Chains A and B, each alone.
Chain A
Amino acid sequence: MSLALEAGCEARPVLRERGQREVFCGLTGIVWMHRKIRDAFFLVVGSRTCAHLLQSAAGVMIFAEPRFATAILEERDLAGLADAQEELDRTVARLLERRPDIRLLFLVGSCPSEVIKLDLAKAAQRLNARFAGVRVLNYSGSGIETTFTQGEDACLAALAPELPGSDAPQLLIVGALAEVVEDQWRRLFAAMGVHRLAFLPARRAGEMPAIGAGTRFLLAQPFLAETARLLESRGARHIPALFPLGAEGSTEFLRAGAQAMGVGEARFREATALAEARAKAALAGPRARLEGRRVFFFPDSQLEVPMARFLARECGMEPVEIGTPYLHRAHLARELPLLPASALLSEGQDVERQLDRCLAARPDLVVCGLGLANPLERQGITTKWSIELVFTPVQGHDQAADLAGLYARPFARREMLRV
Chain B
Amino acid sequence: MQLTLWTYEGPPHVGAMRVATGMEGLHYVLHAPQGDTYADLLFTMIERRDRRPPVTYTTFQARDLGGDTAALFTRALRDAAERFRPEAVIVGASCTAELIQDDPGGLAESAGLDIPVVPLDLPSYSKKENWGAAETFYQLLRRFAAKGAARPATCNILGPTALGFRHRDDVTEIAGLLSRLGVTVNLVAPMGARPADLARIGDAAFNVVLYPEIAGQAAAFLQRRLGQPFTRSIPIGVGGTRDFIAEVAALAGVDATPLLAEEASRLPWYSRSVDSTYLTGKRVFVFGDATHAVAAARVARDEMGFEVVGLGSYSREQAREVREAARALGLEALITDDYLAVEQAIAEAQPELVLGTQMERHTAKRLGIPCAVISAPVHVQDFPARYSPQMGFEGANVLFDAWVHPLMMGLEEHLIGMFREDGEFTDTAPSHLGHAAAPAPVSAPAPAPAPAHAPLALAWAAEAEAELRKIPFFVRGKARRNTESFARARGLSTITVETLYDAKAHFSR
Q: Determine whether the beta carbon of A20 is less than 8 Å from that of B56.
A: yes
| Cβ-based interface call for A186 (8 A) | no
Chain B's interface size range is: 35 or more
How far is it, in angstroms, between the C-alpha of A373 and the C-alpha of B340 when the chains are bound? 35
A315 interface residue per 8 A CB criterion: no
Q: Hey, which chain A residues are within 8 Å of B340, CB to CB? A: 98
Q: Once the chains bind, are A69 and B45 in contact (CB under 8 Å)?
A: no
Query: Does the CB pair B3–A94 fall under 8 Å?
Result: yes
Q: Which of A201-243 contact B (CB under 8 A)?
A: none
Considering the complex, which residues of chain A in the window 1-56 have a beta carbon less than 8 Å from any beta carbon of chain B?
20-28, 45, 47-49, 51-53, 55-56
Chain A proximity mask over B43-55: 1 for CB below 8 Å, otherwise 0: 0111011111000
Contact of B11 among A45, A49, A374, A378 (CB under 8 A): A49
Is B99 in contact with chain A by the CB < 8 A criterion? yes
Interface string of A370-392 (1 = CB under 8 A from B): 11111101100000000000000
The answer, yes or no, to whether B397 is at the interface (CB within 8 Å) is: no
Please determine whether A52 and B7 come into contact, CB atoms closer than 8 angstroms.
Answer: yes
B interface, by DSSP: helix, strand, loop or mixed? Answer: mixed
Q: When the two chains form their complex, are residues B1 and A23 in contact, meaning their CB atoms are under 8 A apart?
A: no
Query: In angstroms, how far is the closest chain A Cβ from the Cβ of B51?
Result: 5
A145 at the interface (CB under 8 A from B): yes
Which of B31-39, B229-237, B242-250, B433-441 lines the interface with chain A? B31-39
- B58 close to A20 (CB less than 8 A): yes
Q: Are B37 and A22 in contact (CB under 8 A)?
A: yes
CB of A369 closer than 8 Å to a CB of B: yes
The complex places the Cα of A357 from the Cα of B95 at a distance, in Å, of 32
**A49-B95, A55-B7, A60-B379 are known contacts. Are A73 and B125 too (CB-CB below 8 A)?**
yes
Shortest Cβ distance from A74 into B: residue: B125
Q: Is the CB of B48 within 8 A of A374?
A: yes
Contact bitstring B483-499, A, C-beta under 8 A = 1, else 0: 00000000000000000
From residue 41 to 85 of chain A, which have CB atoms closer than 8 A to chain B?
A: 45, 47-49, 51-53, 55-57, 59-61, 63, 65-66, 69-75, 77-78, 84
Q: Is A90 an interface residue (CB 8 A)?
A: yes
Residues of B within 8 A of A302 (CB): none
Which of B14, B52, B59, B126 has most A Cβ within 10 Å?
Answer: B59
> Which A residues are CB-close (under 8 A) to B123?
75
* Stretch of B60-68, B207-215, B262-270, B458-466 contacting A (4+ beta carbons < 8 Å): B60-68
**Which residue in chain A gives the minimum CB-CB distance to B56?**
A20
Contact B4–A72 (Cβ < 8 Å): yes
B window 356-391: CB within 8 A of A: 358, 361-362, 365-366, 377, 379
* Given contact pairs A48-B95, A144-B60, A53 touches B1 in the complex (Cβ within 8 A): no
The docked-state distance in angstroms from the alpha carbon of A371 to that of B7 is: 21
Is B62 in contact with A145, judged by CB distance below 8 angstroms? yes
Residues of A within 8 A of B (CB): 20-28, 45, 47-49, 51-53, 55-57, 59-61, 63, 65-66, 69-75, 77-78, 84, 87-88, 90-91, 94-95, 98, 111-112, 114-116, 142-145, 147, 352, 369-375, 377-378
Known: A47-B125, A111-B33. 18 other contacts (CB 8 A): A22-B40, A28-B38, A48-B4, A49-B94, A55-B7, A56-B41, A63-B362, A69-B3, A69-B5, A72-B7, A78-B125, A115-B65, A143-B61, A145-B62, A370-B45, A372-B40, A374-B48, A375-B52
Q: What are some 18 contacts across the A-B interface (CB < 8 A)?
A: A20-B58, A22-B40, A25-B38, A47-B124, A49-B36, A51-B7, A56-B46, A60-B358, A71-B4, A72-B4, A74-B125, A75-B125, A77-B1, A84-B1, A91-B2, A142-B35, A370-B41, A370-B45
Q: Which 4 A-B pairs have the closest CB atoms?
A: A25-B35, A143-B35, A371-B40, A378-B50
